[in-house]
A = this chain, B = another copy of it.
């Protein structure tokens, strides 16, 4: 448990470094991240290098005991390179190059850029790989930011055709799997296959580009693979010279709505996961539940402690700013990270930069570089962590509930959204939020991940499953698990084709149901009446014939009033539930309580709005974080005797949290602390 700061030594006079380092030490800032946009400093002209400035940086901060996370600088190729080798430019869906002037303007499949990157990374790694100040590596920066995962250039087209050839072997196989017989799109060779650029109806048929769904999904997979393979070349180049752990900073899903990268696969290449966590800024104000979900996703990618590599520390945005963090929020957000499994939180950025696109992006310090109330608040956190670290190892929530998240499904849903308003990430959030409110930890899992330790598994809109994945979840139920499957599950093959089977297709036996009709809810809503109470669907209604399953709920509107919307099927030792419709927020809470109870989870009677409770453990010690996301104080009940670890005070029965307050409760009778 520690804090750091994102630092840009190249933005400040050397004189200032000393002041900054001293202030950091006082605030218990343990590390800085540096260098992610520094290519034109390292290599001002082709093959002319200058590492002296970074030598100084590392040596300087080492004197102060401040560790360094060193980034590779590939996010911003310098102008001389773009001018000499314009092939490195990424192209957008219309085929226009994303020209110089901002960042992330390179194509992941440019052989030249990959070579340049490997060479640069190799030099950095060999020079600094064993420096005593070095703590870890960050590969590139925010890979996939701002729709840059998918490039539409000729190099990508060529690589994609090779990728396809490797996957399908023969063009006949590809034609069959894609169903290119539809609309006369049969290819005679892999050289004819297109990348799905904007076509005849890109603008005119709203919210769809009309390309073949199999081709689109493969291009999304290929693009994700391309980014990961680009990153992996950096990882490999580092490993030659350095044994320090390697990460890259991912992006949240709540505001950035997905980068198009399979973060499970990406995580496999990394030693630890990290990500950037902005809560209130130019591009939106995130709900606390959504932030919690993002944290949970990050913890889930490797099922390990992770870092926040960029944590908001001031008002920020590019052309416009969001609000300033209210006093208490920086501390609250930091402990929300820790409670959900982060062990290092790095604030972006130490001090606001006076120039460049992000001159309005405030850090801990304002442009004037003077101590302020945000530094004070962060110092408090630094001091608290200093103390807590003596007691606790890496704290992690222990989840008994899992929600299946699949990137194949995410992309398939983004290609064909089924109905207006459907959004896979939002749907996952709907299933996450009631557990968050009840203080029950959740893991996100892959469809093929081992599920046996979970009491309850949810599979929202698991639109496509391969055989292994189907077997995995089936076996989970067979062995006694409790599984909820929803509408739009099991209906596609992995080529993004609809199964020629009655819905829910590959899950019919497991769920013991057949869906004999379904009604997308365009411009309407349908009420349900179920064993867990009432609810309202506004996206989708599957009209169910229970086969071996029992009906646990019915629709009470429209022509399918009285027909089944919710079922339970005894299967092996377990139970498979099928929910044919989405539910409003209150309906979701009722369903969650019902399922929780059925799965033997400790379901609370009620939740307090804005209170997030997370039970954590470092393996030896168990403790309880309670976070107040409200602007007002809250009194909440606690069961038993605790020591509050920030204040050292004893707590019994109830505790009062200040606005945006945080407490960490350790059970007295468990004997720790």
Q: Cα distance A517–B498 when bound, in Å?
A: 56
Q: Is the CB of A356 within 8 A of B183?
A: yes
With both beta carbons as reference points, the residue of chain B lying nearest to A208 in the complex is identified as B319
Contact code string A144-157 (vs B, CB < 8 Å = 1, else 0): 00111000000000
Q: Cα distance A206–B320 when bound, in Å?
A: 10
Contacts of A596 in B (CB 8 A): none
Q: Is the CB of B357 within 8 A of A212?
A: yes
Q: How far is the CB of A24 from chain B (nearest CB, A)?
A: 18
Q: Is the CB of A199 within 8 A of B41?
A: no
Contacts of A673 in B (CB 8 A): none
Q: Is the CB of B79 within 8 A of A185?
A: yes
Interface 9-mer from A57-65, A99-107, A615-623, A634-642? A99-107
Instruction: Classify the interface of chain A: helix, strand, loop or mixed.
Output: loop
Q: Is the CB of A354 within 8 A of B499?
A: yes
Q: Is the CB of B367 within 8 A of A501?
A: yes
Q: Is the CB of A418 within 8 A of B354?
A: no
Range class of the A interface residue count:
35 or more
- Answer whether A184 and B102 are a contact pair too, CB < 8 Å, given A497-B355, A519-B323: no
- Among the listed B41, B73, B500, which residue makes an inter-chain contact with A367, where contact means beta carbons less than 8 Å apart? B500
CB of A370 closer than 8 Å to a CB of B: yes
- Tell me the chain A residues, 328-370 only, with Cβ under 8 Å from chain B: 352-360, 366-370
CB of A419 closer than 8 Å to a CB of B: yes
Q: Is the CB of B355 within 8 A of A76?
A: no
| Copies of the polypeptide in the assembly | 3
- Tell me the chain A residues, 609-668 only, with Cβ under 8 Å from chain B: none
Q: Cα distance A210–B102 when bound, in Å?
A: 6
Q: Cα distance A80–B180 when bound, in Å?
A: 13
Contacts of A397 in B (CB 8 A): none
With both beta carbons as reference points, the residue of chain B lying nearest to A495 in the complex is identified as B355
Q: Is the CB of B206 within 8 A of A283?
A: yes
Q: Is the CB of A415 within 8 A of B76?
A: no
Chain A residues within CB distance 8 Å of chain B: 10-11, 37-41, 44-45, 73, 76-80, 83, 90, 92, 94, 96, 98-105, 146-148, 178-188, 192, 194, 196-201, 203-215, 280, 282-283, 285, 315, 318-324, 326-327, 352-360, 366-370, 372-373, 415-420, 422, 495, 497-503, 516-524, 558-559
Q: List 21 A-B contacts (CB under 8 A).
A: A44-B188, A83-B192, A100-B185, A101-B199, A101-B212, A103-B210, A146-B200, A148-B200, A178-B356, A208-B319, A210-B357, A285-B522, A320-B419, A321-B418, A321-B520, A323-B519, A326-B558, A354-B497, A354-B498, A355-B498, A367-B501
